[in-house]
Amino acid sequence: MDAYDVIVIGAGFGGPVAAKKCAEAGFTTLMIERSGIPGEKVISGLVIPIYGFLFGPEFIRNGNPPIERPICSVVNRFLKNGEIYATDKSLRVPKPITMGYAAYCKPFCTWLADKAVAAGANLRTSTTVTDLILEDGHIRGVITDKGERISAKVVIDAGGTQNPLSIKAGVRRKFDPEAIELYMIWDFEMKKEDVDDVFGHSMEFFHTMPEERMGAPLGYGSTLYFFTYRNSIHPGLGQFLITEGKVPNVAKLLKEYFDNFTSKVTRWNRDIAPKVKLRGTMWDVCPIYAGLLPKDRTMPYYTDGMLIIGDAAGFESAAFGDGVPNAWFSADIAADVAIDAIRADDTSKSFLKRYDERIRANPFIIHTISDTRRWDMRNVLISRDEKEHIKRIHDFWGIGAFKYKYMGGPCIKASVQLIRQNPGIIGEWTKMFQRYFDNWVNNRFDRLSTDQG
Amino acid sequence: MVKKFEDMPGVEWVEGTGEFIIVNVEKCTGCGNCIKVCLANCYEIIDKKSRIRSLEKCMECGACWYSCTEDAINFSWPAGGTGFRTNWG
């Protein structure tokens, strides 16, 4: 039987971060990925929020990952009868500072996995982990679909939202359907000059009352969003699997909402549609409300011999639905705890409890999984109060999002923590903003292992 | 073998997944939740029970599995290197 110090299940956004750190600490580390190339099964309309880069792993901040567009502002459009009746553009920062970076999952996850491999981790692709090796309730390794049994001192489960392994091992249950949003995304080719002209460095959201039938009432889903990439745009919308206690016909509704949008909205028909060509349609689910539902929130994310990170642990932001920053934070913490546990020769649950303590001490994870702003939005839409709707969106996707009680608090707390540890961090941030922007302008990023020639 | 479908641009499917989603007909009540949440049209109701019609356009999202209140759907990952893949996720 093959043996490693650490096995990481999944090479998505979190797995490689954990694997890289464990390999750098001198431990034999194996990443097992079920797809042929990391990221080709990761579906996300993706603008990775800036707090992931500022406060996440140093090698990302100091590296040259493939990004699709620096996003410097959020434009909120309020629609009635297909026309814009109000706009909130208050959340904006001057270039090269950004609110986040748009990215395709496949190149970005490949970049992360390449970094883990360069640090000495092994990567096995096209391999599905079908089971965990359990000895008296202690996880001692994994079993693959090739029938191999591979042992590990610590298993880090980075298998994403649906990952059935920890359920099979009796550690967790599947998420409650009320926690799960099914979202559909469309990828349209659009010339860079046209994206620059129509959107610039903005991402754009379209907010509606339920009567418009262009999206699930916010609180029960995502408002229709347009993420902007280099030569493409990436609209998406989603709905929870339970609305008012019932499973709605989500499959039909998502298509209906988008058809209504593309047939009735002037902004689409005049400014966007003539310049785009459909290239892809896809969908996935994410556990946005896992942190708000006590049943889901209280499921363990560690056990004897195993730590669970990212979406697999339910660390998805309940307001914004982004999972990448928390995947990075939890991967980094899990690696630290795994390293300490192996050095102490104690991988029991009682030692690994410090993972839970460190997760709770992270200024972002607990705050973002507890954020009720999206959930509460359902009440505004029930009351049909337009003024209140605009006000709430201002506190959500407008500058109000940086109030201390929302993202301002965690950002200040994390900044103080980080500046204390590393007074040079402000210089690193400044350099990151400039380098990321220059990389994008020159369309020059690190070479990927998948690049041809 | 790799499959593509005209109505599903930008995604392709590598064959050989195995039966990674299985309906337990004993537990199934035929409520149709799985049909309502499946964007790939994987399910059909026959004799008041849900059956897998085809997994050929499945994107492995698991919405059917989450929505099944009777715990009648067994979801696991397809075999390594099989199932859907995309450059545009």
Using CB atoms, pick whichever of A145, A254, A280 lies closest to residue B79: A145
Q: How far is A33 from chain B (nearest CA, A)?
A: 8
Average pLDDT over residues A303-310: 98
Best probe of the B interface among A42, A43, A144, by most B CBs < 10 A, is A43
Indicate the pLDDT class of residue A45, thresholds 50, 70 and 90. confident
Give the pLDDT mean for B30-39.
97
DSSP 3-state of B81: coil
- pLDDT (0 to 100) of residue A163: 87
Min Cα distance B58 → chain A (Å) is: 10
Q: What string of H, E and C letters represents the secondary structure of chain A?
A: CEEEEEEEECCCCCHHHHHHHHHHCCCCEEEECCCCCCCCCCCCCCEEEHHHHHHCCHHHHCCCCCCCEEECEEEEEEEECCEEEEEEEEEECCCCCCCEEECCHHHHHHHHHHHHHHCCCEEECCCCEEEEEEECCEEEEEEECCCCEEEEEEEEECCCCCCCHHHHCCCCCCCCHHHCEEEEEEEEEECHHHHHHHCCCEEEEEECCHHHCCCCCCCCEEEEEEEECCCEEEEEEEEECCECCECCCHHHHHHHHHHHHHHHCHHHHHHHHHHEEEEEEEEEEECCCCCCCHHHHCCCCEECCEEECHHHHCCCCCCCCCCHHHHHHHHHHHHHHHHHHHHCCCCCHHHHHHHHHHHHHCCCHHHHHCCCHHHHHHHHHHHCCHHHHHHHHHCCCCHHHHCHHHHHHHHHHHHHHHHHHCCCHHHHHHHHHHHHHHHHHHCCCCCCCCCCC
Tokens 């056990």 appear where? A303
Distance CA A378, CA A328 (A): 30
Contacts across the A-B interface (CB distance below 8 Å): 130
Split at pLDDT 50, 70, 90, the class of A138 is: very high
Q: Which chain A residue shows the shortest CA-CA distance from B39?
A: A251
Contacts of A281 in chain B (CB under 8 A): 8-11
Task: List the single range of A14-23, A124-133, A313-322 with lowest mean pLDDT.
Answer: A313-322
Q: Are A305 and A154 in contact (CB under 8 A)?
A: yes
Where residue B22 falls among pLDDT bands split at 50, 70, 90?
very high
The answer on pLDDT for A318 being more than 90 is: yes
Residue of A104, A177, A234 with shortest CB distance to B66: A177
Average pLDDT of chain A to the nearest whole number: 96
Contact B80 A105 (CB under 8 A): no
In this complex, which of B8, B33, B89 lies closest to A104 when CB atoms are compared? Answer: B89
Distance from CA of A91 to the nearest CA of B (A): 26
Residue that is written with structure tokens 């029938």 in the block: A147
A129, A144, A182: best to mutate for the B interface, most B CBs within 10 A: A182
Find, in chain A, the residue whose alpha carbon is nearest to that of B33: A247
Percent of chain A with pLDDT over 90: 93
pLDDT of res. B88:
97
pLDDT in tens, A221-244: 888 999 999 999 999 999 999 988
CA A288/CA A282 separation, integer angstroms: 18
The answer to whether the CB atoms of A251 and B60 lie below 8 A apart is no
Q: Please, which residues bridge with residue A4 across strands?
A: A152
Q: A257: closest CA among A236, A234, A284, A281?
A: A236
Interface residues on B facing A, Cβ-Cβ cutoff 8 A: 8-11, 14, 33, 35-39, 59-63, 65-67, 75-81, 83-89
Where in chain B are the domains?
13-79
Residue A305's φ and ψ, nearest 5 degrees, are: 85, 0
CA torsion sign, A164 to A349 to A317 to B69? positive
- Topology, domain A2-67+103-177+290-371+422-442: FAD/NAD(P)-binding domain (3.50.50)
Is the pLDDT confidence value at A431 over 70?
yes
The token duo for A159 is 């298998």
The dihedral sign for the CA sequence A317, A184, A301, A52: negative
Q: Above 80 in pLDDT, residue A1? A: no
State yes or no: pLDDT of A383 exceeds 90.
no
pLDDT at A218 over 80: no
Residue of B nearest to A246 (CA): B33
Which residues belong to CATH 3.50.50.60 in chain A?
2-67+103-177+290-371+422-442
> Please, where in chain A does CATH 3.30.9 lie?
69-100+179-289+382-405
CA A242, CA A260: separation in Å to the nearest integer? 22
Question: Distance, in angstroms, between A67 CA and closest chain B CA?
Answer: 13
Topology of domain B13-79, per CATH?
Alpha-Beta Plaits (3.30.70)
Does residue A453 surpass a pLDDT of 70? no
pLDDT category, A266, cuts 50, 70, 90?
very high
Among the partner-chain residues B63, B77, B85, the one whose CB lies closest to the CB of A182 is: B63
- The answer to whether the Cβ–Cβ distance between A104 and B88 falls below 8 Å is yes
Q: State pLDDT tens for residues B54-65.
A: 999 999 999 999
Which of the four pLDDT bands, split at 50, 70 and 90, describes residue A217? confident
A280, B39: Cβ pair inside 8 Å? no
The reported pLDDT for the residue numbered A189 is 98
Which chain B residues contact residue A144 at CB under 8 A? 80
* pLDDT band at residue A219 under the 50/70/90 scheme: confident
Q: What mean pLDDT is predicted for residues A176-183?
A: 96
Q: What is the pLDDT of residues A286-295, one digit of tens each?
A: 999 999 999 9
CATH code reported for the domain at A69-100+179-289+382-405 = 3.30.9
Q: What is the mean pLDDT of residues A318-329?
A: 94
A281 to each of A187, A205, A212, A235, B44, how far by Cα in Å? 6, 19, 23, 10, 22
- Nearest CA of chain A to the CA of B21: how many Å? 12
Averaged pLDDT for residues A113-128: 98
